[in-house]
Amino acid sequence: MGTGTTRHEIPGTTIFDGAEAQKGYALNKMCFSFNDGTNRAAFLDDEEAYCHRYGLSDDQTKAIRDRDVLRLLELGGHPYYLAKFAGIFRLDVQDLGALQTGLSKEEFQARLVAAGR
Amino acid sequence: MARIVGSIMSTHVPSIAGAMSRHAEGEPYWKPFFDGYEPVRAWLDEVRPDVAVVVHNDHGLNFFLDKMPTFAVGCAPQYLHADEGWGIPEVEPFPGDPQLSWHLVESLIGEEFDLTTCQEMLVDHAVTNPMQLCWPDPDDRAAIRIVPVTVNTVMFPYPSARRCYALGEAIGRAITSYDAEEDLKVVLMGTGGLSHQLEGRRAGFINKEFDLRFLESLTEEPAWATQYSGEDLVRLTGSQGVELLMWLTARAALLGGARKVTSNYHIPISNTAAGTVVLEPAA
């Protein structure tokens, strides 16, 4: 599935377009629901049931269970909605940056500081 | 009549709200960033705007992927903040200015911008953070009416830099043609940026060289960034660095030359190259 549009690849980056939005719709809709504290609690109460209720695929449900951010992105997750999923576990954007780049949080922070020199 | 007193461009990194609620502004990590707002507040004390037109991008509080407008204008009597899911403190509602909103809508659609109009609109950190940075006292914020303008940078294709620039110019013309009873002073705000990327193996990407060139362009060569496509901007500034589209829109609304009142640039705040600029229309 594509959008019929050719893109130039940007390494380490997914352009979130219509094809991605369609692939990740259920996953992102679930994460959007986490704006509401009642929904966050319902998710924590029974994660599998909550994923099922939103119609996530088996792969998406597994990636949620594994807290596998890179896989969730591959499966159509959008960073803004996934941030609400990560927020349930009090992970900030530097925790997520470290997870995605395979660095420790300290190494990831050092890299950011170096970009300012 | 109404006139534009200037444009404020400001980063809107979510962690800013947490730092302000902890009173951490003076800590070594935060100080170089917050110091950049002292001259902004001094300038605001002088020009005393009545209304802020806040060009921003929603991050999944007001809009979801089910309906994603390219450009949306708030036309509500007030705008509520709400739980964003990851624990930043909620702030008081912001008063709106529906009459100015509807005038903007008439004028912009009259210029063939196909807008979405919103009589209810939640505003997220992209509005609340810059408002708190500019007016830390809630009483001061309550005295400023806002008109939020939302630009889609959630889902490709985004509006082009050229189109955002044209929208900004049209906003400028709309405000200056507004037949207000009082002498209405309007400030533009463009929130977000500068270079940063949150997701993927390129998370943490920052491009200081590009940011500095962009900052320089704002006064003398404001349309410089319109040469770039949406994909170019992702490549050059990171997936979320494209928020410079808000800056371009707010800059273009000044309709002509601009003078820099103050400027600050600091790396990093969270994963972001943080920028703060105030421009006034050139006399």
Q: Note the pLDDT tens digit of each residue in B16-50.
A: 999 999 999 999 999 999 999 999 999 999 999 99
Residue A2: pLDDT over 70: no
Tokens linked to B59: 């991050």
Domain membership flag for residue B147: no
* Contact between B201 and A12 using a beta-carbon 8 Å cutoff: yes
* Contact between B199 and A73 using a beta-carbon 8 Å cutoff: yes
Contact B54, B131 (CB under 8 A): yes
Q: Which residues of B touch A32 (CB under 8 A)?
A: 60, 64-65
Nearest to A97 among B59, B66, B204 (CB): B204
Domain definitions of chain A by residue range: 18-89
Q: Which residues of B touch A23 (CB under 8 A)?
A: none
Contact B176, B254 (CB under 8 A): no
Nearest to B239 among A32, A79, A96 (CB): A79
**B171 vs A90, higher pLDDT:** B171
Q: What is the model's pLDDT at position A54?
A: 98
Matching residue, tokens 């509500």:
B76
Q: What is the model's pLDDT at position B243?
A: 98
Specify whether B125 is catalytic: yes
Residue B21 structural domain: 2-140+153-281
Q: What is the model's pLDDT at position A1?
A: 52
Residues of B with CB under 8 A from a CB of A: 14-15, 59-61, 64-66, 82-87, 154-157, 197-206, 208, 231, 234-235, 239-240, 266-268, 270-271, 273
Q: What is the arithmetic mean of pLDDT over A13-28?
A: 97
Nearest to A28 among B65, B206, B208 (CB): B65
Query: H-helix or E-strand containing B266?
Result: strand B258-269
Under the phi-then-psi rule, with left for phi > 0, alpha for psi from -120 to 50, and beta for the rest, what region is A2?
beta
Residue B100: pLDDT over 80: yes
* Contact between A12 and B202 using a beta-carbon 8 Å cutoff: yes
Matching residue, tokens 């003398």:
B220
Domain count, chain B: 1
Q: Which residues of B touch A43 (CB under 8 A)?
A: none
Contact A80, B59 (CB under 8 A): yes
Residue B209: pLDDT over 70: yes
CATH match for A18-89 among 1.10.700.10, 3.90.1150.10, 1.10.10.60, 3.40.367.20: 1.10.700.10
* Contact between A101 and B154 using a beta-carbon 8 Å cutoff: no
* Contact between A10 and B268 using a beta-carbon 8 Å cutoff: no
CA–CA gap between residue B4 and residue B173 (Å, rounded): 10
CA–CA gap between residue B253 and residue B280 (Å, rounded): 11
Specify whether B23 is catalytic: no
Residue A57: pLDDT over 70: yes
CA–CA gap between residue A59 and residue A72 (Å, rounded): 9
Q: What is the model's pLDDT at position B25?
A: 97
Domain membership flag for residue B38: yes
Query: A29 — phi, psi (to 5°)?
Result: -65, -40
Contact A47, A18 (CB under 8 A): no
CA–CA gap between residue B141 and residue B37 (Å, rounded): 15
Q: What is the model's pLDDT at position A68?
A: 95
Q: What is the model's pLDDT at position B1?
A: 85
Domain with residue B106: its CATH number is: 3.40.830.10
3-state secondary structure of B255: coil
Q: What is the arithmetic mean of pLDDT over A26-38?
A: 98
Residue B230: pLDDT over 90: yes
Q: What is the model's pLDDT at position A4?
A: 78
Q: What is the arithmetic mean of pLDDT over A46-71?
A: 97
Q: What is the pLDDT of chain B when averaged over all its residues?
A: 97
pLDDT confidence tier of residue B102, bands split at 50, 70 and 90: very high
CA–CA gap between residue A87 and residue A96 (Å, rounded): 10
Matching residue, tokens 């362009």:
B217
CA–CA gap between residue B62 and residue B143 (Å, rounded): 24
CA–CA gap between residue B136 and residue A60 (Å, rounded): 42
Q: What is the arithmetic mean of pLDDT over B244-254?
A: 98
Residue A7: pLDDT over 90: no
DSSP output for B71-112 = EEEE--SEEB----SS-PPP-PPEEB-HHHHHHHHHHHHHTT
Q: Which residue of A has its CA nearest to B88?
A: A87
* Contact between B60 and A16 using a beta-carbon 8 Å cutoff: no
Domain membership flag for residue B148: no
* Contact between B271 and A97 using a beta-carbon 8 Å cutoff: yes
pLDDT confidence tier of residue B182, bands split at 50, 70 and 90: confident
Q: What is the model's pLDDT at position B173?
A: 98
Of B134, B167, B173, B132, residue with least CA distance to B149: B167
Q: What is the ipTM of this complex?
A: 0.95
* Contact between B157 and A14 using a beta-carbon 8 Å cutoff: no
Q: Note the pLDDT tens digit of each residue in B116-133.
A: 999 999 999 999 999 999
CA–CA gap between residue B67 and residue B204 (Å, rounded): 29
Q: What angle do CA B71, B15, B214 make, to 5 degrees?
A: 55
Q: What is the model's pLDDT at position A101?
A: 95
Hey, which residues 34-53 in chain A have their CB within 8 Å of chain B? 34-37, 40
Q: What is the model's pLDDT at position B87?
A: 84
pLDDT cut 90: percent of chain B above it: 96
Nearest to A100 among B65, B199, B270 (CB): B199
Residue A18: pLDDT over 80: yes
Q: Which residue of A has its CA nearest to B57?
A: A80
Q: What is the model's pLDDT at position B188?
A: 98
Residue B195: pLDDT over 70: yes
Query: Which of B56, B199, B242, B266 best tests the A interface by mutation, with the highest count of A CBs <10 A?
Result: B199
Tokens linked to B32: 């170089």
Query: Which of B84, B86, B235 best tests the A interface by mutation, with the highest count of A CBs <10 A?
Result: B86
Q: What is the arithmetic mean of pLDDT over A24-30?
A: 98
Of B64, B12, B3, residue with least CA distance to B192: B12
CA–CA gap between residue A108 and residue B1 (Å, rounded): 51
CA–CA gap between residue B127 and residue B71 (Å, rounded): 16
Of A77, A32, A26, residue with least CA distance to B85: A32
Strands B145-151 and B71-74: antiparallel
Q: What is the arithmetic mean of pLDDT over B209-221?
A: 97
* Contact between B206 and A116 using a beta-carbon 8 Å cutoff: yes
pLDDT cut 90: percent of chain A above it: 88
Q: What is the model's pLDDT at position B181?
A: 78
Q: Which residues of A touch B83 (CB under 8 A)?
A: 35-37
